[in-house]
């Protein structure tokens, strides 16, 4: 069982809606990630938070807004999305500064459909 939990598992939203995806990790990790995965494609990195600070933004459109309230929580706020944003959104975590710090553990994902 994964120790990275994501809610909701499924989300359908209109293009004018505002919604949020939530992620919680129970491993004491200090780095958290958002990935986007389209069907039959590998995950694509969106954002990285390290020690609660945004360290990587892969030129993601501003309609996606990440937030890291504390070391175990990560949110992705969604606003004015487009149908092409429909995808599986994966949260992940790792522990930086350790020998195995690059080992990234993923949650089960949130399926987003934009209508």
Partner 1 sequence: AQSVTQPDIHITVSEGASLELRCNYSYGATPYLFWYVQSPGQGLQLLLKYFSGDTLVQGIKGFEAEFKRSQSSFNLRKPSVHWSDAAEYFCAVGGRGNEKLTFGTGTRLTIIP
Residue ranges binding partner 1 (CB under 8 A):
2, 4, 6, 31, 33, 40-43, 45, 48, 50, 55-56, 90, 94, 96, 99-109, 111
| Closest distance of CB 66 from partner 1, Å | 14
How many other CB atoms are found less than 10 A from the CB of residue 40?
5
Q: Which residues contact 10 (CB under 8 A, 6 or more apart)?
A: 110, 111, 113
Of 8 and 101, which has the nearer Cβ to partner 1? 101
According to DSSP, the residues that pair with 49 across neighbouring strands are: 32, 54
| Closest distance of CB 104 from partner 1, Å | 6
Of 56 and 115, which has the nearer Cβ to partner 1? 56
Of 64 and 89, which has the nearer Cβ to partner 1? 89
Place of tokens 């959104």: 89
* Residue pair 81/65 in contact by the 8 Å Cβ criterion: no
Of 72 and 93, which has the nearer Cβ to partner 1? 93
Q: Read off the DSSP letter of residue 1.
A: -
| Closest distance of CB 16 from partner 1, Å | 28
| Closest distance of CB 109 from partner 1, Å | 5
Longest dimension (CA), the chain: 44
């Amino acid at each position: 069982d994964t120790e990275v939990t994501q809610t909701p598992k499924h989300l359908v939203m209109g293009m004018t809606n505002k919604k949020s995806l939530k992620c919680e990790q129970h491993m004491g990790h200090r780095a958290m990630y958002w990935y986007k995965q389209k069907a039959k494609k590998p995950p694509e990195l969106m954002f990285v938070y390290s020690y609660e600070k945004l360290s990587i933004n892969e030129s993601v459109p501003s309609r996606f807004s990440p937030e890291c309230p504390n070391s175990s929580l990560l949110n992705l706020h969604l606003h004015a999305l487009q149908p092409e944003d429909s995808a599986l959104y994966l949260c992940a975590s790792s522990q930086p500064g350790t020998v195995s710090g690059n080992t990234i553990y993923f949650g089960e994902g949130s399926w987003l459909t934009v209508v």
